[in-house]
Amino acid sequence: MTEPLLEFRDVTIQYQTNRGPVTAVSGASFSIEPGEFSGLVGESGSGKSTLVKSVIGGLDSNGEVTAGKILYKGEEIQDYTEEELNEKIRWKEISYIPQSSMNSLDPLQRVSEQAVEIASVHSDLSKSEALERFKELFEIVGLSPDRIDDYPHQFSGGMQQRAITALALFLDPALIIADEPTTALDVIMQDQIFKYLDRVKANTDTSMLLITHDISVVFESCEQIAVLHGGQVCESGSVEDIYRNPTHPYSILLQRAFPDIRYPDRKLEIIEGHPPEQLGEVTECSFVERCPWAVDACYENAPPLENVSESEQNHQSACFRNDETHALKGELTELAGLTDGGEPNE
Amino acid sequence: MSMKRYVAVRTIQTAVLLMLILTFLFMLFRLIPGSIADQMIFQGASPEAVAAFEEQWGLNDPLHVQYYHYLVNMAQLDPGTSLHYRKPVLDYVKLKMFNTFILVAPGVTAGYLLGTSLGTIMGIKRDSLLEKYGIFPIVGVGTTPSFFLAIIGVIIFAGWLGLVPTSGMITPQVALEMGEDAPWWKIYTTGDFLWHYVLPFSVIAIKYMYEPLLIMRTSVVEMAGQDFLHYHKLTGLPKARWIRHLGKHAIIPIITFYPISLGRAISGLVLIEIVFNWPGIGNALVEAVLQSDYPVIQFVFFLTAAFVVVGNYVVDIVYGMIDPRISIAD
């Protein structure tokens, strides 16, 4: 097996607040292989943005990785200083598409100026080479190359999103972290953005870590997926495995909460409750309060990620009752009296 | 709207405003009770002499003709003759103006530079000891009335310590030694001038430090939290570059404030000039008012207003250059 590009090992991230430390991410583990598109899904407040921001030093000043390791190409980066991040990681290796792309371009700088500045800091490109390259990228993301000298306010929101994406692709990063890149856009724009992300995937060997609360987007664009709940990774694995064979109770319930075009009459399920806000150390499964099948052990310890079966590589689920959930799911279907809640055949 | 058009529109607006100020002053000084002729010739002159005088100076002309002459004269930079000193107002005011300018402009500028730099540091090092405790003395000093500050300065540095003279711009002896033929700017190059200069300069600088400091501190804190600055950081810009971007955004309100402050200070530091007995425009204005020297007052009023107007004009142009989003709606 090759070395993963990026690996989280039992990462715990806490924010210091007036009420004590809030644990946003606890013991999260998962990894991204080179050239792979990986999706990170979860509800609002599940810690997905926090987790990825820790990679590039983007946490708020009161946030900190308090335990675990973040490995990039085998090197521990969780304790990197600002200078080291600037030297080794940011834009040289990992670029970032922020959640608020509409406010992220400097209003006093032409977009091309911002690109040239980034190039001058991180690469040997001359100014004209950088501009040439940036023009090409404008073309790739579907913007007219002669508009690179515009100011951000001359662009629409969708165009700013594209310009930000062009900046992320600019220096051929090994990994792009996209934090809900399409949240602010309408579905048509979303579709266009994902179309060119697909094109990027086809044409380069860039990896992508895509954060979203829209699970269908992940199924469409990614190979790997990790499901986050309350700061814990519930389940991770290939998109096919998790779609066909969700094992963690949260994933099972989540799947039933999504509309399926093949069963338009099916009633959508609701997962009651909210992800918990955790003060201090977390010692239980974060899903325990919402889980229909919780047992005493779930309150005592946070379950570790374990392989689900020997046939499915990398498919891991963090539940003490991994072996039983499929049977339990059957019960649930009968109880709810669904027309068809099982696994649809393709 | 293009930058060119923006500049053109603002230029025309400014010209119109200056015109309005001239008109207002023209009317103001004609509303003052008493005849100008009474002020200008000795009392007890015969009615014929007064009539001849009024005829000579066009005081009997219809108002619009007088207004026309007034505008033409002003356009030619000829604001008339001082009633008291019997010499052209411009020559008299010019030197006073220069004395004020050479004191106030560097003083206010130094205050702004200091305040802006310190405010930036305080904004970046939020919650540091410097920020928590440094702000009180600076605001305390800055909000003290300027004349009081000046008097305290004189007591400490001129009285107790004896480091600097109490008042004046130059020791008369030094000026006399220079002789009549020396060029007018010669005294400003002497060490004696500098010796007189230090204290009033420092008082103005300290007085003008606190406003930009407070604005800059708040502005820096506010800007540092903006998404685009966070993005700048995540693109891996070195700290120094990042601070430069931060500064460029945070300084915009300071740039708005500076020329206005300067414009006001040049015409408004009368009390400091009086405490230090500085031969500037403030002192000259007070003197002129006491002597009812209308041509001088009229011109100084105009200059005062013009500084503020031109200051605003400069702000708008600079603003338009640094922030491309600023323009006037069609």
Residues of chain A with Cβ-Cβ distance to B219 below 8 Å are none
Residues of chain B with Cβ-Cβ distance to A92 below 8 Å are 236
A183 and chain B in contact, CB less than 8 A: no
CA distance B229 to chain A (A): 7
Report residue A169 as tokens.
Answer: 């692709």
Residues A229, A43 contacting (CB under 8 angstroms): yes
Residues of chain A with Cβ-Cβ distance to B222 below 8 Å are none
B225 and chain A in contact, CB less than 8 A: no
Q: Do A82 and B239 touch (CB under 8 A)?
A: yes
CB-nearest partner of A90 from B230, B235, B323: B235
Mean pLDDT within A215-222: 83
Size of interface A-B (CB pairs under 8 A): 68
Residues of chain B with Cβ-Cβ distance to A175 below 8 Å are none
d(CA A93, CA B61): 83
Q: Do A104 and B236 touch (CB under 8 A)?
A: no
CA distance B135 to chain A (A): 24
Report residue B111 as tokens.
Answer: 């205050």
In this model, does residue A95 exceed pLDDT 70? yes
Chosen from B3, B127, B231, B325 to mutate, greatest number of chain A CBs within 10 A: B231
User: What pLDDT was estimated at residue B38?
Assistant: 67
Residues A108, B324 contacting (CB under 8 angstroms): yes
Q: Where are the domains of chain B?
A: 3-75, 95-322
> How confident is the model over A247-288, as pLDDT tens digits?
888 888 887 777 777 777 777 777 877 777 777 777 788 888
- Nearest Cα to Cα of residue B206 among B254, B252, B137: B137
d(CA B1, CA A332): 64
CB-nearest partner of A106 from B228, B239, B322: B228
d(CA B192, CA B178): 12
A16 and chain B in contact, CB less than 8 A: no
- Nearest Cα to Cα of residue A111 among A76, A157, A82, A154: A154
Cβ partners under 8 Å of residue A213, min gap 6: A41, A42, A43, A44, A180
> How confident is the model over A58-79, as pLDDT tens digits?
888 888 888 888 988 888 888 8
B2 and chain A in contact, CB less than 8 A: no
Q: Do B230 and A82 touch (CB under 8 A)?
A: no
Question: Which pTM was predicted?
Answer: 0.75
HEC string of chain B? CCHHHHHHHHHHHHHHHHHHHHHHHHHHHHHCCCCHHHHHCCCCCCHHHHHHHHHHCCCCCCHHHHHHHHHHHHHCCCCCECCCCCCEHHHHHHHHHHHHHHHHHHHHHHHHHHHHHHHHHHHHCCCCHHHHHHHHHHHHHHHCCHHHHHHHHHHHHHHHCCCCCCCCCCCHHHHHHHCCCCCCCHHHHCHHHHHHHHHHHHHHHHHCCHHHHHHHHHHHHHHHCCHHHHHHHHCCCCHHHHHHHHHHHHCHHHHHHHHHHHHHHHHHCHHHHHHCCCCCHHHHHHHHHHCCCHHHHHHHHHHHHHHHHHHHHHHHHHHHHHCCCCCCCC
Residue of A nearest to B242 (CA): A117
Tens digit of each residue's pLDDT, chain B (330 residues): 577 888 888 899 999 999 999 999 888 887 877 666 666 666 667 778 778 877 777 777 788 888 888 888 888 888 777 777 778 888 888 888 888 888 888 999 999 999 999 998 888 888 778 878 888 888 888 888 888 888 888 899 888 887 878 787 877 777 777 777 777 777 777 777 888 888 889 889 988 898 899 999 999 988 888 889 889 888 888 888 988 899 888 888 888 888 888 887 877 778 888 888 888 888 888 888 888 788 888 888 888 888 888 888 888 888 777 777 765 543
Residues of chain A with Cβ-Cβ distance to B232 below 8 Å are 106
A90 and chain B in contact, CB less than 8 A: yes
Classify domain B95-322 by CATH architecture. Orthogonal Bundle (1.10)
Residue of A nearest to B246 (CA): A106
Across A19-33, A296-310, B241-255, least confident range? A296-310
Residues of chain A with Cβ-Cβ distance to B229 below 8 Å are 106
CA distance B125 to chain A (A): 13
User: What pLDDT was estimated at residue B116?
Assistant: 92
Report residue A119 as tokens.
Answer: 């190039």
CA distance B115 to chain A (A): 24
d(CA A200, CA A180): 17
CB-nearest partner of B237 from A98, A121, A153: A121
User: What pLDDT was estimated at residue B12?
Assistant: 93
d(CA A152, CA A110): 7
B235 and chain A in contact, CB less than 8 A: yes
Q: Do B325 and A86 touch (CB under 8 A)?
A: no
ipTM given for this complex: 0.85
Cβ partners under 8 Å of residue B176, min gap 6: none
For chain A, which domains are there? 1-93+173-346 (3.40.50.300), 103-172 (no CATH)
HEC string of chain A? CCCCCEEEEEEEEEEEECCEEEEEEEEEEEEECCCCEEEEEECCCCCHHHHHHCCCCCCCCCEEEEEEEEEECCEECCCCCHHHHHHHHECCCEEEECCCHHHCCCCCCCHHHHHHHHHHHHCCCCHHHHHHHHHHHHHHCCCCHHHCCCCHHHCCHHHHHHHHHHHHHCCCCCEEEEECCCCCCCHHHHHHHHHHHHHHHHHCCCEEEEEECCHHHHHHHCCEEEEEECCEEEEEEEHHHHHHCCCCHHHHHHHHCCCCCCCCCCCCCCCCCCCCCEECCCCCCCCCCCCCCCCHHHHHCCCCCEECCCCCCCCEECCCCCCCHHHHHHHHHHHHCCCCCCCCCC
Residues of chain A with Cβ-Cβ distance to B124 below 8 Å are none
Cβ atoms within 10 Å, residue A151: 17
d(CA A175, CA A168): 9
Residues of chain B with Cβ-Cβ distance to A118 below 8 Å are 235-237
Residues of chain B with Cβ-Cβ distance to A167 below 8 Å are 235
Residues of chain B with Cβ-Cβ distance to A151 below 8 Å are 324-325
Q: Do B325 and A104 touch (CB under 8 A)?
A: no
B241 and chain A in contact, CB less than 8 A: yes
Chosen from B3, B127, B219, B234 to mutate, greatest number of chain A CBs within 10 A: B234
Residues A301, A232 contacting (CB under 8 angstroms): no
Residues of chain A with Cβ-Cβ distance to B239 below 8 Å are 82-83
Residue of B nearest to A85 (CA): B236
B322 and chain A in contact, CB less than 8 A: yes
